[in-house]
Amino acid sequence: MTSITIRAASAADGEALGRMGAALARLHHDYDATRFMLPDDIEAGYQWWLRREIDNKKAVVLVAEREGGLVGYGYGRLEGKDWNRLLDRHGELVDLWVAPAARRAGVGEQLVEAVVAALLERGAPRVLLGTAAPNVAAQRLFARLGFRPTMVEMTRDAPPGAAKKSRPGRGRPSSDG
């Protein structure tokens, strides 16, 4: 079996990160096109955002490398107390992606464990993640790694024509807007 290296992402990985982030966004948009937005130029948006996060002390951006090529990435960040979610400070596993050809070989597990370890090391008392309801493959992996289900998100769309159009924004969707 070819060995996998998990390492911190660098600015030079920006293009690959943009491509993988966009693939993750498209997967979610395909699950539910109204819940998961797909902004124009999604590759550039992810590239911009993840490169910015590489320099953020509260974020962890890791890549999985095999034979000199990137086959996945994991992205997490420290989050503060959130009264609306009844959630004390914590780490959030935000993104996880493994290239289709590299799946079922333990890359996802290594990325999750490495992002979680980095968040715990930076003081997170626990790590949370969200996973799309139909994504049973990811849920199986997370359950196997010790994550328990704690919240169920539900979405109801406005009737057609009732919602105001949102203005275009810059970059990758993020929890801080």
Ligand X SMILES: CC(C)(COP(=O)(O)OP(=O)(O)OC[C@H]1O[C@@H](n2cnc3c(N)ncnc32)[C@H](O)[C@@H]1OP(=O)(O)O)[C@@H](O)C(=O)NCCC(=O)NCCS
**Which parts of this chain interact with ligand X (CB under 6 A)?**
24, 27, 96-98, 103-109, 131, 135, 137-138, 140-141, 144
Distance CA 168, CA 177 (A): 12
Distance, in Å, from the CA atom of 153 to the CA atom of 151, rounded to the nearest integer, reads 6
* 107/118 with CB nearer ligand X: 107
Q: In the complex with ligand X, which residue's Cβ is closer, 20 or 118? A: 20
Q: What are the Cα distances from residue 85, in Å, to 31, 79, 108, 124?
A: 24, 12, 27, 17
How near is the Cβ of 98 to ligand X at its closest, in Å? 4
Q: Which is nearer to ligand X, 81 or 126 (CB)?
A: 126
The distance of closest approach from Cβ of residue 165 to ligand X in the complex, given in angstroms and rounded to an integer, is 28
DSSP bridge pairs for 66: 69
Q: How far apart are the C-alpha atoms of 110 and 123, rounded to whole Å?
A: 20
Give least dist CB 30 to ligand X, A.
11
Comparison of 24 and 70: residue with beta carbon closer to ligand X: 24
Residue nearest ligand X (C-beta atom): 108
DSSP 166: P
Quote the least distance from Cβ 157 to ligand X, whole Å.
22
Closer of 54 and 109 to ligand X (Cβ): 109
The distance of closest approach from Cβ of residue 48 to ligand X in the complex, given in angstroms and rounded to an integer, is 21
